[in-house]
Structure 1
Amino acid sequence: MTSDSLAAAITQFGDPRGYLAVASIGIPPRDAVDALRADLDAWAAAQRDPQGYDPVIARTRGHYARLVGVPESRVAQGSQTSVLTSLVAAAVPDGAEVLVADGDFSSIEFPFLQRPGIRVRSVPLEALADSIADDTWLVVFSFVQSATGVIADVEGIRAAAARTGTMTFCDFTQAAGVHPVDAALFDITVCHSYKWLCAPRGVAFLTVSERIDPLLTPLQAGWYAGDDVWSSVYGPAMALARDARRFDVSPAWQAWIGAEQSIGLFAGLDLAEVWDLTSGLGDQLCEALGIPLQHQAIVTWPDASGHDLRKLIDAGVRVSGRAGRLRASFHLWNDPSDVVRVVQALRS
C-alpha cells in the first residue's frame, strides 16, 4: 500500500513513460519547474537580487541535512562532487594511503590520483573491506555504484575502518533520493543532486564529521564561505564561517531555486518505501528478462555491442550504457508498464 506522501510525490512527475535513465539525469518535479519559471520571470523583470537567494540556499541546506541525518552545521554546499572531493584529497598526509574501488566514478577518484605525494590503491569493490590496512588513511567508495547499481558493503567497510582508525569517504550521488542514507556514519560524504534528487545540475553537498573537520583546509574559500557572507565580499580581511559553511562555494543561484523544491520533496519521504518501489520494479524487469534478481533500482546486463541499447532507444525507451553494460534505472515516475515496454522492445 503506497503512503499518501509517496503517492503525492509521484504525481509531481507527470507520466514520463519509458524514462529509465535517472541514473544519468533526473526529471524535475512540477513544483521545481514552476519555481524556476517564476524565478526566470522575476529575473527578466529586474525583480531579483543576489541576497534574495540566501534564504533559498539555507532552506535547501536544511532539507538536505534532514535527508542525510546530520545537523546543518555539518553540511557544505558546492557545485560539483569533484571540486568538493579535491578538498579532501588536499588533506591527505604526505605518504598516506587512500584505498578506492575499481571502476568507481572518476569524480571521487581522480582528485586523489592527481594529488602528488600520496599512495592510491585500487581493489575490487567486494574486496574493499578486507583490503583496509593499518596504514590506510582513507577509504573512498560510492554507496551505489554508478556503472552497475551494486550497493557497497557499507557495514563491512565501516567495521574494518573502525578497527584500523581509517577515515571513511562515501559518495551518495547514486543513492540519496532512492535509498535510505545516513551521513553520520561516515567522516566525509559528497552528493550531487541532479540524479535521484531530481534537482538542476550545479547543486552538490559535502558533509564532514567532527573528526575530520579540523583536518580540512577551505582552499576554495570565497565570499560565500564568510561567517557574514555580505561582509566578506572584499579582502584581505577574512573571517570564515566556523562550521562546514567555510567550505561553501559561491552558488549558481537559479539552480538552487529548483533544488529547494526537489530536495524538500525527497526529504519528506520514507526512503525505505521509495527503495521498495524502485528495487521492486528492478526485480520485475530481471524476472521478465530471465536474468538473476539484482534487488536494485539500477538494473544492468552485458551489452558490449550496444545492441540492446539501440533497440530500446529506437523504441522510445530512455536508458543508458555504461562500462559495456546496459543500465536501466527506476524512480518514482516508473511503474510496471515500463517493465513491459522494455521487454517488448527487446523482443520485437
Structure 2
Amino acid sequence: MDIAGLWDPEPGWLNTASYGLPPKPAWEALQAALSDWRVGATSWEPWDESTGRARESFARIVGADSEHVFVGSTVSAALAPVAAAVPDGAKVLTDNVEFTSNVFPWQVHADRGVQVLAVPSDKLVESITPGIDVVAVSAVQSSTGDVLDLPAVVAASKQIDALLVIDATQAVGWHPITVDGVDALIAHSYKWLMSPRGATLGYLSPRLQERCRPSAAGWYAANDVHGSYYGPVMELAHDARRFDQSPAWFSFVGAAPALELVEQLGVETINRHNLALANEFRDGLGLPPSNSAIVSTNLPGAQEAFAAAGIRAAVRDGKLRASFHIYTTRADVHQALSALKPLI
C-alpha cells in the first residue's frame, strides 16, 4: 500500500511512544465530526458508529472475538474492575519499571492485603512461581522499550493458573501480538494506533469476565443501549460490552479509521519498517540490534542536542527515548544521528 500523503509529519518526530500522529483518514473524520458538532448538523449516533468499528478492528488486530472486547477511556480505569475482583491477600507480580497504569490499580487494594511484587525484567519469568495470583506486565516497556517474551510468560502463568494481565499500549499497532493465553489485554490507542487520546480498548477472557463485577456500568453497558436511558431496570450486555464505559465520541471517530488503516497496512509490515529504522539508529549509536521500535540509551547531552536540532523525542527514567513508526523516514534517523554525532 502506498502511504505517501497519509501523514505529513514535521521532520524529526521520534516520539510515538508519547503520542502517535493521526493518518489522514482519521484526521479528516475527526474534523468532519467537529464541524457537525459546532453547528448541530447531526445527532450523536453516527459518531457512535465509530465505537463499534474500532471495537471490531481492535478485535481483529489482536486475534480476539469482538464479543470479548470492551471500550473505555484509560488503561487504569479499564483495569479497575479486574483489580477489584482479585481475592484479599492476592499477590500481583509486575516489572519494576512497569508503567503505573498497570501498577496503581492493584496497589490501591493494599488495605485488603493485595501485594504488588516488582522484579527486574530479566527476572520476571523465573519469578512466576506458586503463590503468585496475577501477572500484570506490559507487552513492551514504556521506559526501556524491552519486548516481553509473551509465550514464556503465558506458559509460566498457565502452569500456576495465575491470571495474566497485559498492558499492550506500547505494542499494539507495530508489534504482532494476540490474546492467546491472556486473560486481559488492554491498550490505549493514542500511541502506536495513532488515535485521539481517550479511546481505550481491551480484551477480557470469558473466565475473567465471570469473575469481574462491571462496577462502572452505565447506559452504554446495557443489553439494549437505547432502551436504557432512564429508570431502575438494569439488564446489562451478556458479553464484554457490560464492561464498556460510555465512549468519548470524537476519540473513537478518530480511532476507527486509524485502526482500520493499521489493518490495511498490516502489523507485520509496520513492524519491519519500524525495526529497520530503529536498528539503523541503534547501529549509529554503537548499540546492538534489537526487536523493539523504542530505543532507550544513556547518552549525556542527548536531550539538549536533540532540542537544538529540532528533533522531538523523550527522556524517560533519565535516558533518551526515541521511537520509530510507520511515518518515520531514514532522513529522520540520519538527522537524529547527525545531532548526536558530537556526543558519540
Q: Give the secondary-structure state (helix, strand or coil) at the position aligned to 1:139.
A: strand
- The match for 1:292 is 288
- The match for 1:134 is 130
- The match for 1:311 is 305
What runs of 5+ residues in structure 2 fail to find an aligned partner? none
Q: Give the secondary-structure state (helix, strand or coil) at the position aligned to 1:212.
A: helix
List, as ranges, runs of 4+ consecutive aligned residues in structure 1 with deviation greater than 4 Å.
Answer: none
Greater Cα shift, 140-149 or 293-302: 293-302
Determine the C-alpha separation between the residues in 2 that align with 1:158 and 1:280: 28
Amino acid at match of 1:22: T
Cα drift, residue 267 of structure 1: 2.1
Q: Give the secondary-structure state (helix, strand or coil) at the position aligned to 2:255.
A: helix
Contact map agreement 2:189 2:197 (CA 8 A) in 1:
yes
Residue of 85, 108, 111 corresponding to 1:114? 108
Residue 161 (str. 1) matches residue 165 (str. 2): no
Amino acid at match of 1:333: Y
Amino acid at match of 1:282: A
- The match for 2:231 is 235
Contact map agreement 1:150 1:296 (CA 8 A) in 2:
yes
Contact map agreement 2:30 2:254 (CA 8 A) in 1:
yes
Q: Give the secondary-structure state (helix, strand or coil) at the position aligned to 2:180.
A: helix
**What count of residue pairs does the alignment treat as equivalent?**
340
Matching of residues 193-342 of structure 1 within 5 Å: 193-303=189-299, 307-342=301-336
Question: Per-residue CA shift, 1:187-217, capped at 9, x if unaligned?
Answer: 1111000000000000001211122110011
TM-score, normalised by the number of residues in structure 1: 0.95
Amino acid at match of 2:290: Q
Determine the C-alpha separation between the residues in 2 that align with 1:15 and 1:107: 29
Cα drift, residue 15 of structure 1: 4.5
1:266 to 1:185, Cα distance in 2 relative to 1, 3 A: farther
- The match for 1:98 is 92
Contact map agreement 2:48 2:252 (CA 8 A) in 1:
no
- The match for 1:29 is 23
Q: Give the secondary-structure state (helix, strand or coil) at the position aligned to 2:295.
A: strand
- The match for 1:173 is 169
Question: Per-residue CA shift, 1:110-157, capped at 9, x if unaligned?
Answer: 110111321211111211111112221110100000001110121111
Contact map agreement 1:79 1:249 (CA 8 A) in 2:
yes
Cα drift, residue 51 of structure 1: 2.4
Residue of 7, 13, 17 corresponding to 2:11? 17
Determine the C-alpha separation between the residues in 2 that align with 1:272 and 1:86: 32
Cα drift, residue 332 of structure 1: 0.8
Q: Percent identity?
A: 37
Determine the C-alpha separation between the residues in 2 that align with 1:298 and 1:269: 20
Question: Per-residue CA shift, 1:155-179, capped at 9, x if unaligned?
Answer: 1111111111111111110010111
Contact map agreement 2:71 2:244 (CA 8 A) in 1:
yes
Amino acid at match of 2:58: Y
Q: Give the secondary-structure state (helix, strand or coil) at the position aligned to 1:233.
A: coil
TM-score, normalised by the number of residues in structure 2: 0.96
Q: Give the secondary-structure state (helix, strand or coil) at the position aligned to 1:183.
A: coil
Contact map agreement 1:85 1:108 (CA 8 A) in 2:
yes
Determine the C-alpha separation between the residues in 2 that align with 1:255 and 1:162: 35
Contact map agreement 1:126 1:152 (CA 8 A) in 2:
no
Greater Cα shift, 294-303 or 107-116: 294-303
Cα drift, residue 20 of structure 1: 0.4
Question: Per-residue CA shift, 1:8-44, capped at 9, x if unaligned?
Answer: 3x54112432110000010000111111111111112
What runs of 5+ residues in structure 1 fail to find an aligned partner? none
Amino acid at match of 1:249: Q
- The match for 2:147 is 151
- The match for 1:190 is 186
Residue of 69, 72, 78 corresponding to 2:66? 72
Contact map agreement 1:98 1:138 (CA 8 A) in 2:
yes
